[in-house]
Amino acid sequence: MRKIISCFLVVLVLLTASQCRKSPDYIGAPDNVDTPVSITPSPITANLQGNIVDENGNPAAGVEVKAGSQTIITGANGFFRFNQAALDKKHTLVTAQKAGYFKGIRHFAATAGTNYVKIKLLKKELAGTLSNTSGGEVSLPNGSKVFIPATATKIATTNADYSGNIRVYAKYIDPSADDIRFTIPGSFSGIDKNGKNAVLTSCGMMAVELESEQGEKLQLKSGFPARLTMTIPSAAQSTAPASISLWYVDEQNGLWREEGTAQKQGNQYIGEVKHFSFWNCDFSTGGILLSMKLVNANNQPLINTAVRLTRPGAVWLSSQTGYTDSLGLVSGMVPANEAMDMEVLDPCGAVLFSQTISAMTQDTDLGTITVNNVSQSIVTVTGRLLNCNSLPVTSGYVTITFDNNVRTVAVDVNGRYSTTFAMCANSGSVATVFAIDNGTGGSAQHSTTVPVNLTSPVSNLADIMVCDDTPFEYINYNIDGVDYYWNPQNSFQIFGVNFPGSVALQADNQPGVRQFVLNINGASTGTFDATFGSTDAFPSGGSIFFLPGFSATMTSFTTMWPDYFEGSFSGQYTHSSTGTTVHTINGTFKVQHIF
């Protein structure tokens, strides 16, 4: 890894390849700021997938991931995927939220293949509690501080003045940290105060959220600016400028926007802010859009592979990383008029390949770059899927899991699949493969989870039989003699969540569209009152009125993944679409706890 000399230069906001529980949408819609800079849409329809990890780098389950109008919740492996999502060639936004963490925000330039992003969530830590009446200051472990003036806060949702104690949640984000490529809010791309594209160089950033004692989101009132003190990374302290611009994340598009300045005092920057969000101390340079395609020596695209660019000779040599898509394509903003060093990385950050890129004055596509003479980290995985009749699966895919990463690849008409990616050089070669046959007419099948050893340069896996139609999970019910079935073969997702004193079981037929929700008013085995909502039974909407005795019996109860909720439910109800007609429902369920 290059030695860090001075302020953190982010030179690449590269897109990547390949991304419901209730959670706060509000970190801080800004007050008293200029109208957001107009961004010309450049829409593209493509797939998006990725991995969400927690503060320890482990897969994060139960994370609400949003891209455009679509929403999905990660499972136990922290993986998500959107098919045919509405993305943007320059400004695609993905967000990830889970209780106890700051919102993960990623901005990237989408490509035509299956795009990929990886987001590391930041733990939401209580820095201190202040009285709104007197205000005060809280400090972080590295010396950074947040000062709130007296009587300065309001309830964010109502704009009503707040009185009471303020919970200050704050997290310093070190731009020189090895994991900054996963934790950076948005990207290192922004819009400056003149409305121009900017590539940012960070000298420190911070996430701040305010809450009432009841958990309500708070914001600053107009005319009551707060003060942030941000510690400058040690390698940048001698050359950091005396004055630097402040930038915040625009959560509508994931770009940083310039607002205000901070002054250097000793090894810290101090500046005032009018609202709370993610804040960043940066200087900037003009940017151009750089694109390229990476392939191996056999001309096979490198998928979901990290690419890092830095400015050689710059005083601050840390850098930002992006990922290729399923076609090997990657694109993003880089500084104009400057040469750059490009490095291809394995998932653990080891350099596999490097090349110098000449300075450019306008948006540039470098074409195809062949990654030669690499270590044994590059592997091509290939094989074939067979159905129950030992014939090739013509519509299906495999999921390959390794090193807390997930790769998916579709089969061709002959049942064959092939994908090339980088593995960590010293992490071993053990992976698992899971296969799906989409089938026709609801006849989807799946394989068992198959352990495999991957070897470079090519791993030819044995044929995998995809011949198990047993649903992992299901919610099946009958309404007035009509059967309804929900399972992984015919639904977008099924999941269960244990709330205090209750359980919610849900089945969706597409991202963001709830088809069935069963709410059980109990959190143990036994029989409890229950309610349900079913838009598949009542596509016209309307209201359900439950008659006395509607209940659910929980025969198996759990508080965490990977165990299951099991049981049955039954009762009678009326519906506004059918007047006073009494309807009868009975059903059974086996649903896995999502967390």
Both tokens assigned to 345:
């990385």
The SS3 call for residue 234 is helix
pLDDT for 56 equals 92
Alpha-carbon gap, residue 120 to 101, rounded angstroms? 10
Alpha-carbon gap, residue 213 to 140, rounded angstroms? 20
Q: Does the domain made of 126-285 have the CATH classification 2.60.220?
A: yes
Alpha-carbon gap, residue 544 to 180, rounded angstroms? 49
Dihedral sign of CA atoms 347, 353, 354, 357 in order: negative
CB–CB of 194/112 below 8 Å?
A: no
The pTM assigned to this predicted structure is 0.73
Nearest CA among 500, 503, 484 for reference residue 566: 503
Q: What is the pLDDT of residues 26-64, one digit of tens each?
A: 233 333 333 344 567 889 999 898 999 999 988 888 888
pLDDT for 376 equals 66
pLDDT for 513 equals 65
Q: What is the pLDDT of residues 468-499, one digit of tens each?
A: 876 667 888 889 988 888 876 566 678 888 88
pLDDT for 498 equals 82
pLDDT for 339 equals 86
Task: Please state, in angstroms and as integers, the Cα–Cα distance from residue 211 to each residue in 55, 64, 218, following that order.
Answer: 22, 21, 5
Domain 378-465, second-level architecture:
Sandwich (2.60)
Nearest CA among 45, 51, 78 for reference residue 421: 51
pLDDT for 312 equals 74
Residues 6+ away with beta carbon under 8 Å from 538: 544, 575, 577
According to the 3-state scheme, what is the secondary structure of 48-96? EEEEEECCCCCECCCCEEEECCEEEECCCCCEEEEEEEEEECCCEEEEE
The 8-class DSSP code of residue 577 comes to G
* Residue found under tokens 């090997």: 328
Dihedral sign of CA atoms 49, 591, 23, 229 in order: negative
Task: Please state, in angstroms and as integers, the Cα–Cα distance from residue 278 to each residue in 28, 103, 148, 224, 386, following that order.
Answer: 9, 10, 16, 18, 50
Which helix (H) or strand (E) segment is 181 a member of? helix 180-183
Sequence spans of domains, the chain = 126-285, 378-465, 474-592
Nearest CA among 37, 76, 110, 116 for reference residue 422: 116
Alpha-carbon gap, residue 584 to 595, rounded angstroms? 32
Alpha-carbon gap, residue 290 to 35, rounded angstroms? 28
pLDDT for 280 equals 96
Weakly modelled stretches of the chain, pLDDT under 70: 1-39, 313-320, 373-376, 426-428, 440-444, 470-472, 488-492, 510-514, 540, 561-562, 595
